[in-house]
Structure 1
Amino acid sequence: MESATKPGEMPGAEQNWTPKLIFSMASMLLLLEVLTVSYIMISMAIPGIAAHFQTTQGAWLLTSMLLVGAVTGPLVGKLADMYGKRKLLLLCVVVATVGSLLSAVASSYAMLVAGRALSGVLIPCVFLTYSLIRDIFPTKTIALAVSIVTSGLGLVAIPAPFLTGWFLDNHGWRSIFWFFVIAMVVFGAMIFVSTKESAVRLHSKTDLLGAVLLGAGIAGVLIALSFGPTWGWTNGSTLAYLVGGIILLVGWLVSAGMVAAPLVDLAVLRERPVWVTALASGMAYGCSALFTILLPMMAMTPAVMGLGYGFGVSAKGFAVFQAPIGGMVVVGGVIVGILVGRNVRPRLLMILGLLMFSAAFLCTALSHTDKPLLLVFAGLAGLGMGLAYAAVPNLLIEAVPPQLQASTASIVSVAQSVIASILPVLAFTVMNNSYIAPFPPELTHGAILYTDKGFQIAFLIGAAASGIGALLALLLPRRIAQLEVPATQITDDDHEVAFAH
């Protein structure tokens, strides 16, 4: 099949930035900011919510959203490739809005968690936005647009603690969910009026068996990883979820090799640019999760405890440490967008970002008693995050044809979620086994404090993981040739954009 018009080069389309394009990009960026701020706000609201419903299961407010996002991602990606990325993006916004509304009016904790679970479909919106941008934006603007949209996720983290504190202090925890409802309605409407649908379609069938096997398998593994530290790694429930999840994932692999149109094409996943991008980006997201957990724990510990670290800052006071991270994430994304637009390979930027991240972990491990220096290290980590985050969609755009963009990106997103769950568990398993500070519970009000050596080891684990990610990124080909669409899945619609090389 001969090459047709490329995405972003529709006949008569403008090839440069226009006010409507900027508005469209801003709409998608603001929607994804809601996803980021939801983690921060809910984390700060958990104590009040748990007290209101008299529950000890506050972790489900975060876990349920992560689970649903990871489980639904592959199916959402496949449906987006088949029926239109804008349609699925707006559908996800509607479902997430209903979920937040359900949480806002919840009369029971189960109802609240169910609403949070529905809100998890906002997570696939990350790859849906950059997949849609790839199809509808002019070629000259794609690299910068996808980089800004994906790396802009760190910007809102700066004011979020202050906004959350104002909501909780003046209007209670329900106001947070009403804020989500209003924000998603507004930003979803902005996307509806400013962003057109992609013309790219994948001629395929819905693999329902594959969706069930893959989704249930991912859920089993993530539940085991999330609750293993609480239940115990040898607990029957932990082992049942973990082993059951692995068996279901193996079943999915077998199923995908047998059906004509699998949920995710295994031939595409076996290609080096795809599986290397999945693993390297997973390391980047895992290291991001670890750094953003370790840093506040360390900074908020009172110095008077005599552990050799800590500044005793409050949750709101931690914003001074969050500012350089969030700001530099955005800077890193803009740098990637500009350089990729000038033909710098995203592979190089991915490697550079992970090396910066590794350096930030290493420096923090060796020196974390000087606040200004720690702010510099936090900024370095943010820059590494931004470079790595923004490199991922650009790598997938290079490697994967438009018809498979969303479904392939969904599996990369799953790898990011799984590794982001594993790495903090690994670090805290080491810390809990050997580096708990010997304080009586009544002195710490039940909180667990770690020795200085424990934090050093944890940050060194992050440095090693980032380094491994950089080594993985080195395996990416210097020049990535775009994969072909499987012959059984090429559409024959003359109005659709399709190109095989």
Structure 2
Amino acid sequence: MPVPPTAAGPGDKSGGWTPRLVLSLVSIILILELLTVSYLMVSTALPSISQHYKTTQGAWLLTAMLLVGAVSAPLLGKLADMYGKRKMLLTCLSLATIGSLLSAIAPSFAVMVTGRALGGFLVPTLFLSYSLIRDVFPASKVAFSVSIATSGMGLISIAAPFLTGWLLDNWGFRSIFWFMVIVVAVLGPIIAITTEESPVRLRSRVDLIGAVLLGAGLAGVLVGVSNGPSWGWTSSGTLLYLIGGAVLLVAWVISATLVREPLVDLRLLRHRSIGLTTIAAGATYGCSAVYTMLLPMMAMTPAMLGLHYGFGVNAEQFALYSAPIGAFTMIGGVLVGLTAKQIPPRLMIVAGNIIMAIGFTLTAFSHTSKPLVILFAGIFGFGMGLCYAAVPNIIIASVAPQYQATTAGVVAASQSVVPGILPVIVFAILNSNIAMVVQGNAFYTDHAMTLGFLLGAVVAVVGFLAAVALPRRITQFSLDTEPAVDPAYAGVPA
């Protein structure tokens, strides 16, 4: 049962911008930009890291992070509603700092993956932040603040590709993890000082069994898919992981219907706005994972290999290809924030997925021209920014305050599961189409690259279909009360 707020209720606070509020928002923005930037940095460093550790399983540097994010998000969402969103946000930042430190000093690929797994606790900071904003910011500032926070203001994301290149080319891949350690160590205390704790509380229980079943099931399926090309898709090892993981996932679904307070309350997903937004959110972040992983692999491949793709750029030169993604993501997010009262967020998600699909398709079939690839990256980034900013606005408007973090945790699980699975699938495609191996490094066929980008376009279409099916009117759903219109979103057009 929900506990009444002990202070002014969420959405009831009035007032304008104050220095403390601005600093709170800026520090939250920087943390959330670090989440995106950390993924971009590791994606850019993936060729160097894979070469250093002599592995073809580089996708696990991305998947391990997102797998932990997927499993921890619903759990931390419930804990946040029970004990406080700021408290859980700071806990996640502490664990992510430890993970980055571990990756920075990793002597082996296994330790590197372990560090990246702990870095997955940075994923829940996304929904914890916008849920916290919903509770403690003035109601008139919520929609704009959420849109800006979730898409960024370019404070890091635009400069990050150039910084990443400089770090990688001059100091090696370990330097990017030291950068993450320093940034979080500075921003964490600032958030603690400037951001109030949410007064909203929810009495509940923690479903540890559900967390174990979901985590083990996802891990089993991902291991099977990842190693299928090398083990053989019909080998006993591959089938054991795939079938075992699937069985555990089925067991998790059954458990969720039997447990009184499950890790993921499936009743939430039956609500049209929440269920469809969960699908759209997963598709958006899945698209981001695929594009930002394939782009550096394609651009950094030496042109002299004659694979019909690749420009042979180094990490610093690659910034010219990735900077447009960050810049146009920011533009898309600002646009959503400025038009939140005039344009329904569902239309922004529809438009965003169409634009991302266009970006994917253009890159898939035309990637021999540097200016065109840079242009296509910008197109993709703009669509991504629209979706990034619009998704949390729908969730905030769709759920009662005491279930904000819990519901956002469910959506965040989708935002982690889909981008966690897709890189493994992409690498399975790539590893099945190896053109050559040079000094232990695998290079892939042009056909494999095309298939990878087209897979992203298909995922964007899925997100588009989910967004089209969203209801025209946003109503507030609660497991305890009748639907109502969220006061922070009053006036949002149907």
Q: TM-score range by the shorter chain?
A: 0.7 to 0.9
Taking a change above 3 Å as real, the CA distance of residues 468 and 256 of structure 1, as seen in their structure-2 partners, is closer
Q: In structure 1, what is the equivalent of residue 474 of structure 2?
A: 480
Cα distance, 1:127 vs. partner?
A: 1.1
* Range that drifts further, 278-287 or 310-319: 310-319
Taking a change above 3 Å as real, the CA distance of residues 355 and 23 of structure 1, as seen in their structure-2 partners, is same
Query: Does 2:449 correspond to 1:448?
Result: no
Q: Which runs of 5+ in 1 are unaligned?
A: 488-501
Q: SS of the counterpart of 2:201?
A: coil
* Range that drifts further, 463-472 or 393-402: 463-472
Q: Aligned ranges for residues 381-392 of structure 1 at < 5 Å?
A: 381-392=380-391
Query: Does 2:12 correspond to 1:9?
Result: yes
Q: Which amino acid aligns with 1:405?
A: Q
Q: Aligned ranges for residues 283-294 of structure 1 at < 5 Å?
A: 283-294=283-294
Q: Which amino acid aligns with 2:470?
A: L
Contact persistence 1:36–1:153 (CA under 8 A): no
Q: In structure 2, what is the equivalent of residue 418 of structure 1?
A: 417
Q: Which amino acid aligns with 2:193?
A: V
Q: Aligned ranges for residues 45-124 of structure 1 at < 5 Å?
A: 60-104=60-104, 111-124=111-124
Taking a change above 3 Å as real, the CA distance of residues 180 and 466 of structure 1, as seen in their structure-2 partners, is closer
**What CA distance in whole angstroms lies between the structure 2 residues aligned with 1:376 and 1:119?**
31
* Range that drifts further, 409-418 or 293-302: 293-302
**What CA distance in whole angstroms lies between the structure 2 residues aligned with 1:106 and 1:305?**
32
Contact persistence 2:86–2:196 (CA under 8 A): yes
Q: Aligned ranges for residues 155-234 of structure 1 at < 5 Å?
A: 156-168=156-168, 174-234=174-234
Q: SS of the counterpart of 1:447?
A: strand
Taking a change above 3 Å as real, the CA distance of residues 231 and 196 of structure 1, as seen in their structure-2 partners, is farther
* Range that drifts further, 316-325 or 174-183: 174-183
Taking a change above 3 Å as real, the CA distance of residues 322 and 17 of structure 1, as seen in their structure-2 partners, is same
**What CA distance in whole angstroms lies between the structure 1 residues aligned with 2:96 and 2:314?**
31
Q: In structure 2, what is the equivalent of residue 314 of structure 1?
A: 314
Q: Aligned ranges for residues 205-354 of structure 1 at < 5 Å?
A: 205-340=205-340, 342-354=341-353
Taking a change above 3 Å as real, the CA distance of residues 94 and 245 of structure 1, as seen in their structure-2 partners, is same
Contact persistence 1:155–1:327 (CA under 8 A): no
Q: SS of the counterpart of 1:317?
A: helix
Counterpart among 450, 457, 468 of residue 463 in structure 1: 457
Contact persistence 2:233–2:239 (CA under 8 A): yes
**What CA distance in whole angstroms lies between the structure 2 residues aligned with 1:450 and 1:127?**
38
**What CA distance in whole angstroms lies between the structure 2 residues aligned with 1:461 and 1:22?**
40
Taking a change above 3 Å as real, the CA distance of residues 464 and 133 of structure 1, as seen in their structure-2 partners, is same
Q: How does the TM-score come out when normalised to structure 1?
A: 0.85
**What CA distance in whole angstroms lies between the structure 2 residues aligned with 1:372 and 1:145?**
34
Name the % identity.
Answer: 55
Contact persistence 2:66–2:419 (CA under 8 A): no
Q: SS of the counterpart of 2:470?
A: coil
Taking a change above 3 Å as real, the CA distance of residues 376 and 61 of structure 1, as seen in their structure-2 partners, is closer
Cα distance, 1:44 vs. partner?
A: 5.3
Q: Which amino acid aligns with 2:396?
A: I
Q: Which amino acid aligns with 1:365?
A: A
Q: SS of the counterpart of 1:448?
A: strand
Contact persistence 1:303–1:312 (CA under 8 A): yes
Cα distance, 1:347 vs. partner?
A: 0.5
**What CA distance in whole angstroms lies between the structure 1 residues aligned with 2:255 and 2:11?**
36
Q: SS of the counterpart of 2:315?
A: coil
Cα distance, 1:300 vs. partner?
A: 2.9
**What CA distance in whole angstroms lies between the structure 2 residues aligned with 1:455 and 1:316?**
22
Q: In structure 1, what is the equivalent of residue 490 of structure 2?
A: none
Q: Which amino acid aligns with 1:144?
A: F
Spell out, residue by residue over 1:297-320, the C-alpha distance to the aligned partner (whole angstroms, 9 max, x if none): 333334444444433322221111
Taking a change above 3 Å as real, the CA distance of residues 359 and 101 of structure 1, as seen in their structure-2 partners, is closer
Taking a change above 3 Å as real, the CA distance of residues 37 and 374 of structure 1, as seen in their structure-2 partners, is closer
Contact persistence 2:30–2:156 (CA under 8 A): no
Cα distance, 1:129 vs. partner?
A: 0.8
Q: Which amino acid aligns with 2:74?
A: P
Contact persistence 2:47–2:297 (CA under 8 A): no
Taking a change above 3 Å as real, the CA distance of residues 94 and 293 of structure 1, as seen in their structure-2 partners, is closer
Contact persistence 1:151–1:386 (CA under 8 A): yes
Q: Which amino acid aligns with 2:480?
A: P
**What CA distance in whole angstroms lies between the structure 2 residues aligned with 1:325 and 1:472?**
24
Q: SS of the counterpart of 1:328?
A: helix
Contact persistence 1:27–1:187 (CA under 8 A): yes
- The alignment's C-alpha RMSD in Å is 3.0
**What CA distance in whole angstroms lies between the structure 2 residues aligned with 1:318 and 1:175?**
17
Q: Which amino acid aligns with 2:314?
A: S
Taking a change above 3 Å as real, the CA distance of residues 63 and 266 of structure 1, as seen in their structure-2 partners, is closer
The count of aligned residue pairs is: 477
**What CA distance in whole angstroms lies between the structure 2 residues aligned with 1:108 and 1:427?**
24
Q: In structure 2, what is the equivalent of residue 364 of structure 1?
A: 363
* Range that drifts further, 61-70 or 329-338: 61-70
Q: Which runs of 5+ in 2 are unaligned?
A: 482-494
Query: Does 2:142 correspond to 1:142?
Result: yes
Q: Which amino acid aligns with 1:319?
A: A
Cα distance, 1:449 vs. partner?
A: 2.9
Q: In structure 2, what is the equivalent of residue 497 of structure 1?
A: none
**What CA distance in whole angstroms lies between the structure 2 residues aligned with 1:352 and 1:43?**
26
Q: SS of the counterpart of 2:117?
A: helix
* Range that drifts further, 347-356 or 269-278: 269-278
Contact persistence 1:333–1:386 (CA under 8 A): yes
Spell out, residue by residue over 1:191-225, the C-alpha distance to the aligned partner (whole angstroms, 9 max, x if none): 00110001111121222222322233233333334
Cα distance, 1:283 vs. partner?
A: 1.4
Cα distance, 1:348 vs. partner?
A: 0.6
Cα distance, 1:399 vs. partner?
A: 1.4
Cα distance, 1:426 vs. partner?
A: 4.5
Contact persistence 1:81–1:404 (CA under 8 A): yes
Query: Does 2:27 correspond to 1:27?
Result: yes
**What CA distance in whole angstroms lies between the structure 1 residues aligned with 2:324 and 2:377?**
6
Q: How does the TM-score come out when normalised to structure 2?
A: 0.86
